[in-house]
Structure formats: structure tokens, C-alpha cells
Amino acid sequence: MDPDVEIATNVRVVMRDGAVLRADVYRPRVDRRLPALLLRIPYNKELAQSYVYAHPLWYARQGFVVVVQDVRGRYRSDGAFYPLRQEADDAVDTLAWLGTLPFIGEAVGMYGFSYPGKAQLLAAARGDPRLAAIAPGFCGSGMYATAFTNGAFNLAMMVSWSIQLALDEARWQRDRRACQILSDALETLPRQYATLPLRDLAPLRATGRSQFFFDMLDHPVRDAFWRDLELGAGGFEAIGVPGLHFGGWYDTFVSETLRTFEHLSGREDQFLLVGPWLHLPWSPWVGETDFGDAARCEIDEVQVRWFRHWLVDGGRGELDLPRVRIFVMGRNEWRSEAEWPLGRARDVTFFLHSGGRANSLNGDGSLSADPPGNEPADMFAYNPLDPVPSLGGHSCCFPHQAPMGPCDQRAVEARNDVLVYSSRRLEAPMEVTGHARVRLFVASSAATTDFTVKLVDVHADGRAVNLCESVFRVGQATSPGRLLRDDEVRELAFEVGVTSNWFGGGHRVRLEVSSSNFPMYDRNLNTLSPSDEWSAVVATQRVFHTAEFASALILPVVG
């Protein structure tokens, strides 16, 4: 019993199709109507994402009625769960129900990170007048970017998340057999990542759960399948409520978080905050790096100011928050900005160079502002059965078994199937803030293959710390690029990722190029009809840097 807050558990909320969803309501013991905060969650309303946020009781003590609801088909709510498919309708129905409660005022806000953040965006696009503000954190605007990056499957993210959801469901349904299978799978995630073919992922096949995992595997490009699971570019125009968007530079969704803000940044009521954090936890200690006391998570305090402004003050007066607040890594300090992307950032091009042997740290790869001349191509053999292991990165959601955060890359840079291009030591510090991009000219002996990239900050002591990474799948009819022909030169232009990093004096900029980053991304078996490990083909890969085919890294440098 809390003397200040009355708690009602498992309150029934009936949806338009008759499904009953259940919510816990935390109501301050005051005799007046109060604004409400709604958190709709697939991860157990009793936890209420309190592993990163303050408990709902804390928010209630700040003067809000807090409503935490299990989404459809999860925990105490009826129906069948399928990611995002019903969330917009169910949110609108829940908002209508909140409007019938005599102790709630007219203003309702929504909060929550990851899946609940995506669900907020879908709800906001419906234009319900009861929704006055949102605070979507660490999320994208749909499911496609959760599952795929440029046609490659986000393996570690999707395998761990799908198994965890299946285990939660099995535990709730007291299915002991399924629980044992799925618990064992979570404890042996590296073994699950290695499954070939991936469509035979045993824990999910054996238990018949998380069918969406296999459905998504069948749709590696944004086709009609994704329509009900995405906000879509046109959907941003329908969002008319104030939004506080926040994330972390090492979060799996950080590029999506920034793109969402960019879509909405023409509105003055959209705000952005990005720290140095992982998807979770939100701590100053991230991967192998301690960002110091300045990196302490402040989301709860910021959200209270945010929701008081819009729900209590009705948006009147000045909001005590900067429009854009970013943590600059390397300097390890926060900075306020008026816009994103930063208008004062300019593109600086670093061209790839070598004498034909950029393989590993022992090679002769380099980066410079000078365009290449007549230089021989770099070559390496990509063996899908011996992929380059992920060291740190932007995956989710188990830090000890999924690639997350900053990590010294020298162990993978020792491999000959990793091309290493490094600048000279910087004479003066250089800040890179924004979306980093590459333009690669490549060829392969395979009809389908992958090319991976990684942006690295090489410290004066030699530590090579990853900042962001990406992959591009070419050659499959269902992927972003058409079929490759043997030795055909192809141009690949894509984003490496987004970051804010201070390269100190004496540091070097480094770009890694390879064809695998496993298990962050699934392995391309270099064959058009992959079935299992026996179908894998070794591919000879080439990366060009000549006057005609000038491969380059393009960085947003703040001068």
C-alpha cells in the first residue's frame, strides 16, 4: 500500500473487436483530474520498463496518472501478438477508454522506449485529439529496419528478441517443454546464431512460437508485407503532436531515431536528445568505454519537464529544454544545438588508397583527401563458414551475447579478409557529427555477396574503437542490388551509420571493409539458392580505388 498513490491492477480495456487488454493504473491520491501518461508494452506491464525508467510510482508522485498496459496477446491481455500490426487501433481504443475515466484530465501523453516507442509513432499518426505529447525513445518507425539492413538480416537482434518473446509467452502459458527449449536457447545464443539454414532455427520451430521471425525472413525488401508494420514516409506528415525523441549512439535504432526526427524537424515542437548509450542499459559505462559522470542517464527528469510543459501547462511558456541535445564522445560532454543535422557540418571526403594489399593491419591501406590515381585493387577471399566476428556494435539486446557498444577492433583487423584503410595521425582534433557514408566500387566472383564497412577511431595508443558500421547485400533478386556478374564493377553508396565523435589530435580515422560482421548480420553464403552450410561458396572480392573508380569515405565534419 502506497500512502500517496492508489494502484488498480489488471483493469479491463475492451478493444473495438472485443479483445480485452489489461492495464495497471497508478493514481495519485488527490481530489482533482490529472494528466495521464500511457505506456503500452509487450514486456510485462508489472515491470513497466523500470530497468531503464523510474518506476510508475515515481512518475505518479510527480503528478501524473500512469497507465501501463500489456499490448494485445502479451501477458494478461487477450488476443494474438504480431509486432505492430494492431498497435495503432489498440492505442486509439485505449485513449478513448482513458477519456471515460473521471480522474483523468483532457491531456494524455505516451512514453516508452524500443517497441513502445514505435507503437507511439503509429498511434500519433492517427491524429487522436486526446493524445497531447509523445516521448518515443530508442526506436525506429517500423519493423523493417529492426529486421534488415540493406537486405542483410539483423541476425543477433532478431534471433535474441524473437526467442525472448517466445520464452515470455511460454512462461505465461506454463508450457514447461517450450520454456526449457527456449531457456536453453537464450543461454546458448552463439549456437543459435550459427544455425544454417536460418529458417530451421530449432527453438522457434520446435515450439511453434514467434512465427513473425520466419515471415520476416521471407521479405528482405520493403514489399507489401511490411505495410501494416511500418509508419512509412507518408505517415510522418500525419503526426501532429509534440515529440521528444531520444536515443544512444550505440543503440541499434539510432539511425532510425535520427531519421524520424529529421522527418519531423520542420515542426518546432519536436525535440531530440542523444547520449552515448547502448539500447540498454543507459549507463556511463558503455562496452569497453567509460564516458564519465556526464553520461549519466537523465531521461526521467527530462520526461517530467517535457510532459509537464505539454500536459499541465498546455504548451504555454518556455520549455526548459534545448531543441537538440547531443553527447559528443571523445570530449565526453553534452552540447545544445538548434538543429539536426548540423548545418555547420561539411562533408569531408577520405579516398581509399593502397598498393594492392590493404589486407589487415599489416597491409598498406590508407585514407587521404587526395583522389586515387592508377592503383591496383585490393582483394580478399570471403569464406562464409569463417566469418569476421563482431566486436561491439549496434545490436540488441543481451550485452554479453550480442555485439553491442565500443570495443577495440584490432583482433579482427589482424585478419586478411578485413581491408584496413587508415588516415595519417591528425595534426589537430576533428569532430565528426552526423551521418557517415561510403561510396565503394567493388567486384566479386560470386553472383550474390555482402560488403561490410566499419568506421573506427584509432587512438594515440593504438586502440581502434568502433563508432558505427553497416552492410550492403548485392546480387539477390530480393535484395537492393541486381545480380552480380563475375568481375563486374559495381558502385555501392550507403550509410555507414550516425555518430558524434571527437577525434583527438594524434588520432587516426579508419575504415574497415570486409564481407561479414557476424553475428550482427547473417552470413551471405555467396550462392543464389542457399540451403545449408554445404551450399556455401568462397568468393573473391575486390575493392577499387582508381581515378575512374574512386572509393571513398564521406564524413560530416564540424569545423
Can you give the pTM of this predicted structure?
A: 0.96
End-to-end alpha-carbon separation of the chain, Å? 56
Tens digit of each residue's pLDDT (9 = 90 or more) over 282-324: 999 998 999 999 999 999 999 999 999 999 999 999 999 999 9
pLDDT for 199 beyond 90:
yes
Q: What does the alpha-carbon distance between residue 201 and residue 163 come to, in Å, rounded to a whole number?
A: 10
114 is catalytic: yes
Which of 70, 93, 114, 128 is the catalytic position? 114
Tens of pLDDT, residues 144-181: 999 999 999 999 999 999 999 999 999 999 999 999 99
Q: How far apart are CA 197 and CA 534, in angstroms?
A: 10
Distance of CA 91 to the CA centre of its chain: 23
Q: How many helices (H) and strands (E) does the chain have?
A: 12, 27
pLDDT score, position 486: 63
Cβ neighbors of 7 (< 8 A, separation 6 or more) are 24, 25, 26, 27, 57
Residue among 22, 23, 24, 29 at smallest CA distance from 5: 29
Mode of pairing for the β-strands spanning 34-41 and 104-113:
parallel
Q: Can you tell me whether residue 31 is helix, strand or coil?
A: coil
Active site residue 251: yes
With cut-offs at 50, 70 and 90, classify the pLDDT of residue 531: low
Set 24, 93, 128, 251: catalytic member: 251
Peptide bond before residue 396 is cis, with ω within 30 degrees of 0: no
Check pLDDT > 80 for residue 482.
no
Beta bridge partners of 473: 450
Pick the catalytic residue from 24, 90, 279, 507.
Answer: 279
Q: Which candidate, 70, 395, 19, 82, places its Cα nearest to that of 226?
A: 82
CB-based burial label for 368 (10 Å; 0-12, 13-18, 19+)? middle
The reported pLDDT for the residue numbered 475 is 83
Q: What is the DSSP string of 269-320?
A: TEEEEEEEEESS---SEETTEE--GGG---HHHHHHHHHIIIIISTT-S--S
370 is catalytic: no
Looking at residue 478, its pLDDT comes to: 47
